[in-house]
Chain A
Amino acid sequence: QVQLLQSGAEVRQPGTSVKVSCKTSGYTFDNFHVNWVRQAPGQGLEWMGWMSPNSENTDFAEKFRGRVTVTSDTSITTVYMELRNLTLEDTAVYYCARGRSYFSYWGQGTLVTVSS
């Protein structure tokens, strides 16, 4: 069965970076895009960006451009999202989700807490 398994919760100080992993399984990795969506505490969903399976194509919401990098290791079918220069407003649950237009499968979420 299709699974997206994310890395565990992280705590970071403002100004630092965090890297979240998303281990995929149960499908052909090369056939599907992976998106990143975040949700601040008590808030709604916010689309961050997507990456093509071979990492050659990516796109991000304007507010994240220059601050986020998405990469993949196809040998272990894992996608990584690194967010830099963290602020308190980046505290959120970060989800990876499979799909090009709609997201059929989601990871369980990774809580990133930014606190001084």
Chain B
Amino acid sequence: QSVLTQPSSVSGAPGQKVTISCSGRTSNIGSNYVYWYQQFPGMAPKLLIYNNDQRPSGVPDRFSGSKSGTSASLAISGLQSEDEADYYCASWDDNVVGRGVFGPGTQVTVL
């Protein structure tokens, strides 16, 4: 069982906005930054959001992250077919020094 909680799947039509939630605890999301990774089948994950809401160079501004308390969310606006992938939230947990934690992943389907 993952320490962080995500919906197993979300879907939306092209052009719509979808939001993926990530719920944790005070010891992880509540005390540390949240990161988001995108993964296509058979490929390595790719960093999508860092430090809660920052986009690395090259990531479209359709992707946005936010955090409030012990929860975070990733929003994809103007959904495109190429956004169909798995999305993972991640953070660090202060209960155990140096422990990284991932959410179980959310599969995004473009209808």
Residues of chain A touching chain B, judged by Cβ–Cβ distance below 8 Å, are 35, 37, 44-47, 49-50, 59-62, 95, 97, 101-104, 106-109
Contact = CB atoms under 8 A, between A and B. Distances in A.
B78 interface: no
Contacts of A37: 45, 100, 102
A104 B56 contact: yes
A104 B101 CA distance: 16
Given A101-B33, A103-B47, A104-B56, A59 B102 contact: no
25 contacts: A35-B100, A44-B2, A44-B88, A44-B102, A45-B37, A45-B88, A45-B90, A46-B102, A47-B90, A47-B99, A47-B100, A47-B101, A49-B98, A60-B98, A61-B100, A62-B96, A62-B99, A95-B45, A97-B45, A101-B35, A101-B92, A102-B50, A103-B35, A106-B45, A107-B44
From A35, A37, A109, residue with most partner B Cβ within 10 Å: A37
From B47, B92, B97, B104, residue with most partner A Cβ within 10 Å: B47
Interface of B: 2, 33, 35, 37, 39, 44-47, 50-51, 56, 86, 88, 90, 92, 96-105
Contacts of A108: 44
A44 B44 contact: no
Contacts, number: 63
A50 B100 contact: yes
Contacts of A95: 44-45
B102 A45 contact: yes
Contact of A106 (B33, B44, B86, B102): B44
A59 B94 CA distance: 13
